[in-house]
Amino acid sequence: MLNNIGLPGLLLIAVVVLVLFGRGKISSLMGEVGKGITSFKKGINEGQDEIAHASEEAKDVTPETEKDKV
């Protein structure tokens, strides 16, 4: 059903949405979407930094000699 929309259909949908909600409401909504995307990317980067930091702090606990093995 959604595979045959095409460019004219998308333009018609965009015009209907613009008429129903108005320019101000759509621009504020897109601003909130942009803030959400920025926050998501920031969270992903912080998570990757925490993983990298945790792997740097990890200690090697393998025994160095046969005597150290239990």
How far apart (Å, rounded) are the C-alpha atoms in residues 25 and 60? Answer: 56
* Phi, psi angles (nearest 5°) of residue 60: -85, 115
d(CA 11, CA 8): 5
Band (65; pLDDT cuts 50, 70, 90): confident
Task: Parse the chain into domains and list their residue ranges.
Answer: 22-46
pTM of the model: 0.53
3-class DSSP assignment, residue 37? helix
5-57 pLDDT tens trace: 888 898 999 899 889 888 888 889 889 999 999 999 999 999 998 888 877 66
